[in-house]
Amino acid sequence: MSQIPPYQKIANALRDQILSGELAPGDELPSENQLAKVHDCVRSTVTRAIEQLRSEGLISTAQGARSRVRARPQIFYLATGENFRQRQGTGKPNDIAEAEAQGHESKNAIVSVGLTPAPEDVAERLGVDSGTQVIMRHQLNYVDGEPMKAMRCYYRRDFADGTALAEPRLIAGSVANLIEAEDGPFGRTIARFVEDIELRMPRPAEAEQLLIPPGVPVARILRTLYDAAGEPLEVLDSLLPGDRYKLRYVISVPEKT
């Protein structure tokens, strides 16, 4: 029967304290010297245990300071048409309205807006050839001051050229409201959206932008928005760090015939 390495025993004990709430977000961990004394081991063993927890995204470490339990906002992401309409009714972007409804402060920031060749999976959803020039709006969503989600919104040029979607600024209200405004440039009715989810590890640039610790995966959600005629209007490519979101999808099932 294999024995659990000493560093793993320490990591398991600390992890249990963190997940149970005994060590709350923001709490300092005991010093490495204290932990070595408690567990009757050398400090290097404790250092290895701390590194294990850091790689799992449970703690943060800084030079010259004690490790702390990571304090991070947790957003409950609910995917239903009813919830979409409710959040749209606030007149704010869906991600901001969702975070505020859960007691958080939230804002979006523009990274860039401009023409870009459509990635293959985006082009397929927009109904254009791969590499076709489309308008892309790259934004970051912040919750309680921390980068929470990266978003790239793609639009066909024949749809978005000459509108606020092509301008390098935040859109007043929400894109959904702009699309459906009777006196706006589109006058479309949003009928449905389809989401495809990919789970993977973040790329270096993504981890840097969203401050994702080692060992934490991301959920990439590609959401295609359609109007009442079935025309795709927007592809939203969102990147959600796995340590900050809980996802729930509610699916209405038609009556059995």
Residue given tokens 């304090």 in the structure block: 71
pLDDT score of 173 more than 90? no
Q: Give CA–CA dist 147/249, Å, rounded.
A: 24
pLDDT score of 1 more than 70? no
pLDDT score of 192 more than 70? yes
pLDDT score of 109 more than 80? yes
pLDDT for 129-159, tens place per residue? 999 999 999 999 999 998 999 999 999 999 9
Name which of 70, 67, 86 is nearest 78 in CA terms: 86
Torsion from C-alpha of 112, 88, 181, 191, nearest 10 degrees? 100
pLDDT for 23-71, tens place per residue? 998 899 999 999 999 999 999 999 999 999 988 878 887 777 888 998 7
